[in-house]
Chains A and B, each alone.
Chain A
């Protein structure tokens, strides 16, 4: 069950779209990729699993917090931020441009991961 997923999604959509950020944004899938995929990154045992993920432009990445402690997903480029994710909360973004995007948890800064966006 993705508790609070809808709220997180809606808040994030407004925030990221309003900022007009490149790389990750909430946007329709690119025309060049007719079958965008959805990738799950589990936040489990205070790690991002997988720690490194390569996706195509148009793909969606969903982070799901499986831990009993809250986390965030903070993408350093563009200062994109999931906000507070309780257990089973999720945050999703769609990749819109090629880039390498390191991210971390602001509550536990030693937790780090990277999303690599290819294509375009």
Chain B
């Protein structure tokens, strides 16, 4: 669970906050329902970032990427909810989800203060980093540790989508980022 423990710290690094503020969160392994909750939370966070991009960016490529994030992450969440309904379970809130939300608020606050190229640069930089970190956790921690085979299959399918998002975000970051 090492990389899972690093998720909060890595996201914090991306968002410009300190690593130390996020050291806890996942001292105990998450169960399937908690992992599902983290995945849905991470998707909702990216949808929120995308809505900021649609509000503030005038770059057509970035706006199209943001529209794709809203569409795809909503579809993945719907699949998770459908699976939970089928299994008769509910995703469980947990410290990791709460930590992600708290850190995302800092990123949203930062993005909300930016306009023009400065916003575009920060948005695509964050998208590339955020997808890289979340995908790493899903690939290296969630999929190997999830117990239910249907939940694992859902994670595997979602990962394929999110890896394409990551490549797209990295391309945009090379093109429009401030690196």
Asked if A pairs with B, the answer is yes
Which residue of chain B lies nearest to A87 when distances are taken between CB atoms in the complex?
B75
Question: At the interface, is chain A mostly helix, strand, loop or mixed?
Answer: loop
Interface membership of B64, Cβ < 8 A: yes
Q: Does A68 contact B (CB under 8 A)?
A: yes
Bound-complex Cα distance A63 to B164 (A): 19
Among B47-86, those with CB < 8 Å from A are 64, 67-68, 71-72, 75-76, 78-79
Tell whether, in the assembled complex, residue A68 and residue B68 are in contact, meaning their CB atoms are under 8 Å apart: no
* Nearest A residue to B158, CB-CB: A68
Task: Find out whether the CB atom of A70 lies under 8 angstroms from the CB atom of B164.
Answer: no
CA distance A37 to B79 in the complex (A): 35
Interface pair A110/B164, CB less than 8 Å apart: yes
Q: Is the CB of A110 within 8 A of B167?
A: yes
Q: How many A-B residue pairs have CB under 8 A?
A: 36
Nearest residue (CB) in A for B162 is A46
Bitwise, A70-85 to B at CB < 8 A (1) or not (0) is 1000000000000000
The one of A45, A46, A68 in contact with B79, judged by C-beta atoms closer than 8 angstroms, is A68
Q: What residues on A are CB-neighbors of B161 within 8 Å?
A: 46, 67, 69
- Min Cβ gap A47→B in Å is 8
* Interface positions of B from 136 to 179, Cβ below 8 Å from A: 157, 160-161, 163-165, 167-168, 171
B residues less than 8 Å from A108 (CB atoms):
68, 164-165, 168
Interface residue ranges, B against A (CB under 8 Å): 64, 67-68, 71-72, 75-76, 78-79, 157, 160-161, 163-165, 167-168, 171
